[in-house]
Structure 1
């Protein structure tokens, strides 16, 4: 009987559950809405129960903030999330009650970063930074296969950006106002313009403003981490023209101060598309089994 790995990409809108083989090929995948822990986790557990005899480990990438410290009393918890039903929820503990298996636990954006590292744009390089730009903005960084983290995981989506001269929007972040997420995430676009980004034409002047904020993010990332590649995923980046505008603005901002790899290979969108998180969770599960 083939051994299988499980993956849970726990997002703020939906949970994507998957099982895959050693080659990270997806055998089955299912998506469930993120409602309450009682409702959503019952569906998640039911999904994996079908594969109980074959499952050898599970990788979990969750929305956060989460507790990543193994020696902490609340390791494996979702902590101070704005989603009230999920505050201080023992995610890993709940899964362990049903499946006595090795489990990997990290943020959803770290999982996507790991997916691209093992099977996407980061394959074959040492240092990868991944941002998701969608309903929120989050970032994850890998250095030689290890996540960059300290007392907690990074919150790169909340770095401060300089306001574009033609933008008087106050920002939507309740904590920081004009941070990157507050200015450039999907809800910021919609609140500013009254329309979703996907409904704007390619030549809408707003895209220059959006590209400016994302280019500032790439600029800061470059000077802090000097990664081999910066990957921008998420719904907002599903505009093919946007990454080109980001590269052009990034070039202006850097102003030849540092020499980066060729921009077409340095500032990119995910090779795995929307599968980055799923593949990442399965790859983390495979890694967890290896070190168990």
Structure 2
């Protein structure tokens, strides 16, 4: 039996089962301090029976270098109490199992790639727009890592002409993509979520422009066939259509893969993260 954890900043989703297609038990707990949260997760997982491996898709930043003695750690996260947390090591020791480990967005990207693979897709990026902004990249079934995991949320987009004065909310970079287009950035500017703004409010065009710039970077720099956009902000009515139209404008018909570049909503819905974590269990070490 495999186990999976989608470790998020507000909740941990837990699951067990024989495969990503068959999850026989599932449970959700709130994310509190590490000692309380990890112990509660381990207790529930142990109660499900004998587990052979566990996959963890975690909020980050995380250490993914397999040669590092800090592999499996949540590193310099701004979430209070969670910096330098050895989350993979905790479950390896507590449950005595092999561990597959990656970012939560890479886990979601794996699940979405698996769903898209049946249509012949061989390259996919998963872009999540919510409390933070992150991207996972999967090429030929393998998540892309360099010396660390991609941090798409911290690129610097061009400022929209109607958005020159907003300083941005990222504590590290100010007006990076996350600082300008995440849920907290939207709330800081306008006091409500994007979906609560009137349809004729310029905020819709501003946010669509920033996300479209990220899509253009992915298409231009990596030439992925498909970008899947998820997260709470992405659920705003008509935002996806605005992003697609603006991305096409930015590409100007130049990119050699233009005819095959596509932007989609999630096929796996809310199950992308936990399904991808179950896939990580299959590759545990």
Compared with structure 1, are the counterparts of its residues 23 and 86 closer, same or farther at alpha carbon in structure 2 (3 Å cutoff)? Answer: closer
Q: Which residue of 2 aligns with 1:158?
A: 154
SS state of the match for residue 130, structure 1?
Answer: strand
Distance 1:9 1:182 in 2: 24
Compared with structure 1, are the counterparts of its residues 191 and 142 closer, same or farther at alpha carbon in structure 2 (3 Å cutoff)? Answer: same
Q: Which residue of 2 aligns with 1:32?
A: 29
Distance 1:202 1:57 in 2: 47
> Does residue 209 of the first structure (1) align with residue 191 of the second (2)?
no
8 A contact 1:122–1:128 mirrored in 2: no
8 A contact 1:122–1:229 mirrored in 2: no
Q: Once the 2 structures are TM-superposed, how far is the Cα of residue 18 of structure 1 from its aligned partner? A: 1.1
> Does residue 5 of the first structure (1) align with residue 2 of the second (2)?
yes
Structure 2 gaps, min length 5: none
- Describe the superposition over 1:33-66 as per-residue Cα deviations: whole angstroms up to 9, x where unpaired: 111011111110011011232x221110111111
TM-score, normalised by the number of residues in structure 1: 0.92
SS state of the match for residue 170, structure 1?
Answer: coil
Q: Which residue of 2 aligns with 1:198?
A: 195
Q: Which residue of 1 aligns with 2:73?
A: 77
Q: How many residue pairs align between the two structures?
A: 284
Compared with structure 1, are the counterparts of its residues 262 and 233 closer, same or farther at alpha carbon in structure 2 (3 Å cutoff)? Answer: farther
Distance 1:190 1:121 in 2: 36
Q: Once the 2 structures are TM-superposed, how far is the Cα of residue 26 of structure 1 from its aligned partner? A: 2.5
8 A contact 1:57–1:285 mirrored in 2: yes
Q: Once the 2 structures are TM-superposed, how far is the Cα of residue 239 of structure 1 from its aligned partner? A: 2.0
Q: Which residue of 2 aligns with 1:234?
A: 231
- Describe the superposition over 1:137-186 as per-residue Cα deviations: whole angstroms up to 9, x where unpaired: 01110111122111111111111101100113111011111111000000
Pairwise CA RMSD: 1.7
Q: Which residue of 1 aligns with 2:141?
A: 145
> Does residue 277 of the first structure (1) align with residue 273 of the second (2)?
yes
Compared with structure 1, are the counterparts of its residues 123 and 34 closer, same or farther at alpha carbon in structure 2 (3 Å cutoff)? Answer: farther
Q: Which residue of 1 aligns with 2:255?
A: 258
Q: Which residue of 1 aligns with 2:220?
A: 223
Q: Once the 2 structures are TM-superposed, how far is the Cα of residue 262 of structure 1 from its aligned partner? A: 5.2
- Of 181-190 and 200-209, the range deviating more from structure 2: 200-209
SS state of the match for residue 283, structure 2?
Answer: helix
Distance 1:187 1:121 in 2: 34
Q: How does 1:37-186 map to 2 (within 5 A)?
A: 37-53=34-50, 55-120=51-116, 124-167=120-163, 168-186=165-183
Distance 2:45 2:199 in 1: 42
- For residue 22 of structure 1, the aligned residue among 19, 23, 27 is 19
- Describe the superposition over 1:125-144 as per-residue Cα deviations: whole angstroms up to 9, x where unpaired: 21111111000001110111
Distance 1:10 1:235 in 2: 17
Distance 2:18 2:120 in 1: 21
Distance 1:122 1:274 in 2: 20
SS state of the match for residue 71, structure 2?
Answer: coil
SS state of the match for residue 125, structure 1?
Answer: coil
> Does residue 268 of the first structure (1) align with residue 267 of the second (2)?
no
